[in-house]
Amino acid sequence: MNKNLDRLQPYPFEKLADLLANSRPDETKRPIKWSIGEPAHPAPEFVKRVLIENLDGLSKYPVTIGSIELREAISTWLTTRFALPAGAIDPDKNVLPVSGTREALFSFAQSVVNGADEAVVVMPNPFYQIYEGAAYMADCDPYFVNLNADNQFQPDFKSIPPSVWMRCQLVYVCSPSNPTGACLSMEKWHELLTIAGKNDFVIASDECYSEIYFNEGEPPIGLLEAANEFGLSDFKNCVVFHSLSKRSNLPGLRSGFVAGDARILDKYRLYRTYHGCALPPPTQKASAAAWQDEEHVRENRAIYRRKFDAVLEILQPCMDIYRPQAGFYLWPSVPIDDASFTRRLYEEENLLVLPGSYISRTVDGVNPGVKRLRMALVAPYEECVEGAERLAAFVKRLAV
């Protein structure tokens, strides 16, 4: 067996199942699930229609690089969304469709990291678990950068010692962050790009929550936008990951893309011809339609905005909770151990959340997920409001 498999940690939801194995919820209350970040708003009807209309495509093997129609739709979307110069994104060279970003984020590490030379992969803490597993399976060590309230959950790149940067071959950034909701500012991006220029590592920017934000006039800044402003017109060492899962409520379609540095994408495409699963032709047609429409994305944001407004109005008076810049998670701190809080909340209120420490690691004795919860506001409005009322009641009982 590959020895690195022993380094993989159980998935957070396995840990949650173990935590609750002997618990019984109060069944007089309907179950409310805020633990998993699975979008629950309806998938757009027009996308479903395009999918059905193109089922004949199932009789063909798709190619790894995807159809030109899809790559053009993605290029146009990227160029408009991130204010890139016309022609900056060549659909033949700078874009690669993938079957959801999860598997791409994972396999990407294996194609850019050379496991020799004590390589490290820098990543945020708390984090999306795939980054950590990707580093281990690429035969190197993760280096965690803690995200704390003291620094507005921004990674402090300047705190990383030069000896780590010298060994660094890949940095995962999650902006907007799962779970903190923080987005990298232009200044932060430039700070990272400056360090990358000196140390020659690749930046993998996971931007799958970039289209869920609260102020229509302030969309999160993406890495390609920052790189372009920084003067990297060829996006050297910069690669972004985007998904239709959250943006368009299509987690089951398994559709996303990787874009950026043409040199890296060329090699990554080659690697994917061995291991990657090309998108089925009907999926490609449906995806092209989804990337070409913004109306459903604006409507989606409006639904989240209404839920966050209502939930925060209920919770802010009774707990330490802030409004995220983007994404659909809340990341409050709680007065007791996060796992005990989660278990009692489930037993007493039939409301399921994820303990913060299940998606973070202890570094130098500090674990930034301890005494925090991750709560995904994916359920319908009424259910979110009811969940917030139950959580508020629970917190008030805890306090007496």
User: For residues 70 and 174, which CB has a smaller minimum distance to ligand PLP in the complex?
Assistant: 174
The DSSP call for residue 56 is G
Per rule CB under 6 A, is residue 128 in the interface with ligand PLP? yes
Q: Is the Cα torsion angle 153, 158, 164, 165 positive or negative in sign?
A: positive
Residue type, 115: G
How many residues bind ligand PLP, per CB under 6 A?
14
Nearer to ligand PLP, 106 or 322 (CB): 106
DSSP H stretches of helix in the chain: 12-19, 45-53, 68-81, 101-112, 129-137, 162-167, 186-199, 223-230, 244-247, 262-275, 281-291, 295-315, 338-349, 381-399
Site for ligand PLP contains 300 (CB under 6 A): no
Minimum CB separation of residue 392 from ligand PLP in Å reads 26
Using CB under 6 A, which of the segments 79-87, 98-106, 316-324, 354-362 binds ligand PLP? 98-106
The answer to the question of residue 172 lying near ligand PLP (CB under 6 A) is no
272 is a contact residue toward ligand PLP (CB under 6 A): no
Choose between 14 and 382: whose C-beta lies nearer to ligand PLP. 14
How many Å apart are CA 339 and CA 19, to the nearest integer? 8
Could you tell me the smallest distance in angstroms from the CB atom of residue 233 to ligand PLP?
A: 27
- CB atoms under 10 Å from CB of 211, counted, come to 23
- Residue 178 binds to ligand PLP (criterion: CB under 6 A): yes
Closest CA to 318 of 392, 387, 391, 390: 392
Q: At what angle do helices 68-81 and 281-291 cross, to 10 degrees?
A: 20
Please, which of residues 34-63 interact with ligand PLP by CB under 6 A?
37
Name the DSSP class of 3.
Answer: G
Of 243, 283, 287, 325, the one binding ligand PLP (CB under 6 A) is: 243
* Beta carbon nearer to ligand PLP, 209 or 394: 209
- The number of residues making up the chain comes to 400
Q: Which of 102, 272, 301, 361 binds ligand PLP (CB under 6 A)?
A: 102
Which residues are at the interface with ligand PLP (CB under 6 A)? 37, 100-102, 105, 128, 174, 178, 206, 208, 243, 245, 251, 256
